[in-house]
Structure formats: structure tokens, C-alpha cells
Amino acid sequence: MKEFLEIIAKQLVNNPDQVVVEVEETEDRILLKLSVAEEDKGRVIGREGKIAKSLRTIVKAVARNQDKPVFVDIL
């Protein structure tokens, strides 16, 4: 899932080399923390958060076979 989110995020931004995804896994969840360049945050979030919501939906769909819920946090 980490690599999947990185690939998608790199396609959205102007500075793909600054895309970083960190994984924080606990007993009950998996959290993917997405960091991008400051000037690319708007591209990843989108108007009214539509792109961010779509990213979260896609990652959750890909992660359905996980035993834990997966969340995406944009830093």
C-alpha cells in the first residue's frame, strides 16, 4: 500500500522527489502518512478536499484484504 500511494501521489505533484510515505502500524490500524512539498499540498488535497478523499477511498479499496483498517493522513 505504501508503494501504491507513493506512485499515485508522485503523479499529482510537481516535485515527485519530495513525496514521502511513512507507515505507522499498531495492533488495530495502519496509518499511512503522506508528506509532499509545501507548494504541492494543494494538488494533493484538491478543492474542498476532493482529491484527498479520492486518495483515501482508493487506498481503502486496495487494502480491503488487510486485517486492519487503513487510514491516510496528509501532513
How high does pLDDT run on average in the chain? 92
Check: CB of residue 51 under 8 Å from CB of residue 72: no
Flag whether the pTM goes above 0.85: yes
Rounded distance between C-alpha atoms, residue 48 and residue 14, angstroms: 20
65 SS3 class: helix
Alpha helices by DSSP H, listed for the chain, are: 2-12, 41-45, 50-62
Residue 10's contacts (CB-CB under 8 Å, 6 or more residues apart) are: 16, 19
Q: How does pLDDT run across 43-63, given as a tens digit for each residue?
A: 999 999 999 999 999 998 888
> What is the per-residue pLDDT for 31?
94
Query: At 30, which amino acid appears?
Result: I
Q: Comparing 2-6, 38-42, 66-70, which segment has the lowest mean pLDDT?
A: 66-70
